[in-house]
Structure 1
Amino acid sequence: MEGAEEKKKKIPAVPETLKKKRKNFAELKIKRLRKKTLSVLHGHLRLKGDWNTKAGNTSEPKLAFVIRIRGINGVSPKVRKVLQLRRLRQIFNATFVKLNKASINMLRIVETYIHCMGVPKSE
């Protein structure tokens, strides 16, 4: 009969909130370990000199030649400011522009007022 009494004893129930906390903690622990190992790996690669900071297509142009082709009459202030920042204050002024995400967005704003030439060759 003692065996039957032991079976009747209930194991205390664990609240759902504690179960969720345990699960979340385990997931956080895994994320932290992954992040830590990645940072250690990146550090070793950087020391060796094998670490490439730029990802993606390296054949994309990095520089563009931009010429201003229209006047400023009736232009919105945002367009005027971008033209000033790119040093395109007069018609037929031209500059070399380094192409990154910010400069490409600026060129999109003023695309009706400029002409973008291709990439210069380093010869």
Structure 2
Amino acid sequence: MHPRPRKVLQLLRLRQINNGVFVKLNKATLQMLRIVDPYVAWGYPNMKSIHDLIYKRGYAKVNSRRIPITDNSIIESALGKYEIICVEDLIHQIHNVGKYFKQATNFLWPFKLNNPSGGWTKKTNHFVEGGDFGNREDQINNLLRRMI
């Protein structure tokens, strides 16, 4: 792999295969996603997908340690000053890309997902060519459901 896409993957906190993160889509991140397009599948998740990811695969980053999100006290102690006191507030902040989106996503450890049930269809082709990588828009929800 060329060093440039490798560096962009590290900036996006995607250091392992089948990892997932939430990213605010703006001009800068769109350019970054174009660079790593052949290596990632991305899209716009709905509220249910975000909910399932956080409840089933969600881990918090507290003092640089990976801690499972078992109750709201972990969230309140770390994000209480940002008006996020429970898991539902965290989900709402991420789904609506609120003003504390960056703090909410940095609080979450990158999600470790499984291979999709049924496998990848054509991981060497772009999504618009019938493959798996690239911008899936709303179809990312189907992929996430198979990977959780």
TM-score, normalization by structure 1: 0.37
If asked which structure has higher relative contact order (CA below 8 Å, sep 6+), I would say: 2
| Rg larger for | 1
TM-score, normalization by structure 2: 0.31
